[in-house]
Amino acid sequence: MRNLPESWIHRIAAELRRPVRLDEEFDRGVMDAVRAMPRHRQRPWTRMLRARTITVSPVVSGIAAALLLAVALSAGHFISAVRANRATGRIDVATDRSGGTKPGPRRSVQFVLVAPTARKVQLVGDFNDWDGSHQEYHAQHRGGGVWSVTAAIPEGHHRYSFVVDDSLWVADPSAPRVLDDDYGVPNSAIVVGGGDATQ
């Protein structure tokens, strides 16, 4: 392609910059075509997302703020009471099936896992906040690949697993599985009642 003279480039640029005049008939035709298009139906959730003006009276907002403050103070008081009781050792807190907390005695429970190639086995569960670093949750090797640990577990429904060699989470093959897995890892279930239990 040969080079165009500079005067031609200026003329083309000037032509492109010139405004295009459209008559009213063209505008009317475009708008008629737009109006003839089918209307979009709004889904219920799009109607809910539309901007709305909400008017709240000072009385309602004051009551809502007072309720929110009362709930926050109650939750703070409950959490501090649970922490104080744990620190003083007055009560043990066990997690029940509904996820709430309740005081309860602890029962001695033996957990057994057969893991012939393991070098270390720890017990973790909702009863120790999934932390098996304390010595009481370290399993002892009994020979023949059998590992066991006896720990004081609060009465109630619990989920637990074994951690093999600090990395592999293993459900107890001799116990029922929990239906809802945590992070894709299956856990075992146990119900600790009166008297000693063996799992």
Q: What percent of the chain has pLDDT over 90?
A: 28
Q: Where are the domains of the chain?
A: 56-90, 101-198
pLDDT at residue 60 greater than cutoff 90: no
> Any idea what DSSP says for residue 4?
P
Question: Considering the chain, what is the average pLDDT of its residues?
Answer: 78
For residue 154, how many other CB atoms are within 10 A of its CB? 21
The residue behind tokens 């059998």 is 146
Contacts of 181 (CB under 8 A, 6+ apart): 187
| pLDDT score recorded for residue 99 | 44
* pLDDT, average across residues 22-42: 79
pLDDT level of residue 163 (50, 70, 90 thresholds):
very high
pLDDT at residue 90 greater than cutoff 70: no
- Residue 135 token pair: 């010595």
- Give the highest mean pLDDT range of 1-15, 29-43, 67-81, 155-169: 155-169
Q: CATH: 3.40.640.10, 2.60.40.10, 2.160.10.10, 2.40.160.20. Which one for 101-198? A: 2.60.40.10
* pLDDT higher at 16 or 81: 16
**169: phi then psi, degrees, rounded to nearest 5:** -90, 125
Of the given ranges (47-56, 88-97, 98-107, 136-145), which has the lowest mean pLDDT?
A: 88-97
Picking from 177, 176, 186, 173, the residue whose alpha carbon sits closest to that of residue 147 is 173
| pLDDT score recorded for residue 139 | 93
pTM score of the predicted model: 0.47
pLDDT at residue 155 greater than cutoff 70: yes
pLDDT at residue 53 greater than cutoff 50: yes
- Three-state SS at 91: coil
| pLDDT score recorded for residue 97 | 42
